[in-house]
A and B are shown apart, each in its own frame.
Chain A
């Protein structure tokens, strides 16, 4: 039952990934990779920003250390998400299950999973099926079909993933003033990293997200009155 509920909850993510990874497939082939290499990257990494950066390094024949450091920084947010998600698991999530389940931690899977009180292995893997299928299929379609579809269609599909993020965040902001203010701070910091000249050239997008999110969450902790610190937990529950 849990697995099927996860499967259902993963549908929106899967559809979103199908369109986002389509653009990745096109980009990878344009960077000199073959179609099967593009698919192999999506299948083994399951991450958007990291893959785009990784393909850039590959096409420049970059070094192995450069690749490791870049992936580490861009994907460091998954570590934070993993810790956050671990708080919703219990002893039924054994070490082997954690080692398998952690592969599926992406921004979107995490975002949907953290709406549940309790995250089981069944739910997490069920939730991951359609996103993995969508991510891999979309990459294959983009790599093989290339630019056959007009860009107006693919570009309009790419925004859907952000709509989904809004659908996760905004209802929670309505219920918790502290989370609403924290998210506002996070967006303001993101605007600074996007538009301030020196910062937008020298801070990678993955690293900027970590700085924004951590600073804003710390501000939220600072705003939380000592006797209502459970509020965040209730909001999630």
Chain B
């Protein structure tokens, strides 16, 4: 009898434990509601993640660079791969001869740069690994001008904190018109030696699929930070007023602004 009772108790406990672990479908979906309490608690850890990353990456520590032999495939294009925006199509049609990168904001002398002017500046070539937030990686050789050189050419105000990249590609059509891709990085990353505005990939001019004529490389962060189809650069001390204020298209949709992990 004792045996029987014991085994029933065991069975009931077992059943309770099993039942509590099986279908939890949707139980934690409130975590996806941005602005909600549960989500807010989860997001509080982002501050810690950011501080630790900024501490680790405070120095000019470099992202690993690879040997030529590690380039085993073309760079995999992701996100927008062929913008249909009229102004961009015009640039493509004339092989970007009319392209002018505008640099403005908190700078001494706002200016514009043609692609030839950018290519004439001392360049940097690096073979690095592109890590997408989705989880895949691809190694490619990137050639471009250090962003620091462009910033020095226009003279950045001491109070400036961020560099914002405005892009040609439309991601979606919102109530107030097309929503274009944009991104931003802080001055430390902007002046990092491996942060370049790339115009070449794997010894070829940067293709439309990979962001022609210019795309950003921020090698110590994830792929979505590396804006393609860069139209203009704005130096600023606040990210408010750009997009929805999150500092980037994906950041406005719940992704971390500092994407080192």
| A and B interact physically | no
